[in-house]
């Protein structure tokens, strides 16, 4: 039994690492097409979702829809890590990230919305890059850093909102899996980083600084 465990445990760990890496990449791949350039799924006038006088959302479409939703919810209660221990009344455990949400809303209103016609390309490009790095195991740590930034922004803006209902833990896991990818550099297992590292390692050992940086990013 011990021999069997020693033989199969490392193989299973490698399989799980590859599966999780590819799944993270494919997740971002599936989210590219509803906000594809040049319109990013927005209406011709690039109108954003907003709340009417009663607080009800007036939905639009595409990236403009979700940026608008984040903007509206920036000024509303924003608890995360919620646990209702008795399933009655307000949750007993929660952390309010209202200040982060307001900062995110200010960024969206002051920068993203006015520049959506070009900033949409940046959002699409970031998520496309994450897909390539994770799916093919190429510069996975660099992809993980970008995935952390993108996931954290989505977490602040959308986790646990009530309309539309967004399950908080879907966004929590975005961040946690991206952190895992940064820590474990899964492209080193059946990824293109294996080939890249074989070329970079001799250069890094000779003191090449650029090679050292690139080596860390794989």
Interval 112-161: pLDDT, tens: 999 999 999 999 999 999 999 999 999 999 999 999 999 999 999 999 89
* Residue 148 and residue 182 in contact, taking contact as beta carbons nearer than 8 Å: yes
Residue 73 lies in a domain: yes
Residue 196 lies in a domain: no
Residue 207 lies in a domain: no
Residue 40 has pLDDT above 70, yes or no: yes
Residue 33 lies in a domain: yes
Residue 210 lies in a domain: no
Range of the domain at 91: 2-191
Q: Return mean pLDDT, the chain.
A: 93
Residue 200 lies in a domain: no
The predicted pLDDT at position 39 comes to 97
The predicted pLDDT at position 144 comes to 97
Q: pLDDT confidence of 6, banded at 50, 70, 90?
A: low
Q: The pTM is what?
A: 0.92
Residue 187 has pLDDT above 70, yes or no: yes
Q: pLDDT confidence of 28, banded at 50, 70, 90?
A: very high
Residue 218 lies in a domain: no
Looking at the structure of the chain, the number of domains it has is: 1
- What is the separation, in whole angstroms, between the first and last Cα of the chain? 35
Residue 74 lies in a domain: yes
The Cα–Cα gap between 59 and 66 comes to 9
């Amino acid at each position: 039994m011990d021999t069997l465990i020693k033989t199969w445990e490392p193989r299973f760990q490698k399989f799980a690492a590859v599966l999780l890496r590819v799944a993270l990449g494919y997740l971002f791949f599936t989210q590219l097409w509803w906000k594809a350039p040049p319109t990013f799924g927005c209406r011709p006038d690039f109108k954003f979702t907003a709340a009417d006088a009663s607080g009800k959302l007036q939905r639009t479409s595409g990236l403009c829809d979700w940026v608008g939703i984040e903007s509206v919810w920036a000024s509303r209660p924003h608890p995360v890590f919620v646990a209702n221990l008795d399933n009655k009344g307000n949750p007993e455990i929660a952390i309010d990230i209202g200040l982060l949400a307001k900062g995110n809303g200010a960024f969206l209103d002051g920068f993203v919305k006015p520049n959506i016609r070009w900033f949409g390309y940046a959002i699409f490009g970031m998520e496309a890059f994450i897909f390539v790095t994770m799916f093919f195991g190429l510069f996975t740590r660099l992809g993980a850093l970008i995935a952390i930034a993108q996931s954290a922004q989505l977490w602040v803006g959308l986790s646990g909102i009530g309309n539309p209902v967004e399950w908080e833990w879907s966004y929590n896991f975005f961040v946690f899996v991206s952190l895992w990818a940064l820590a474990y550099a899964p492209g080193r297992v059946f990824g293109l980083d294996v080939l890249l590292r074989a070329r970079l390692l001799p250069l890094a050992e000779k003191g090449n600084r650029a090679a050292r940086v690139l080596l860390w990013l794989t």
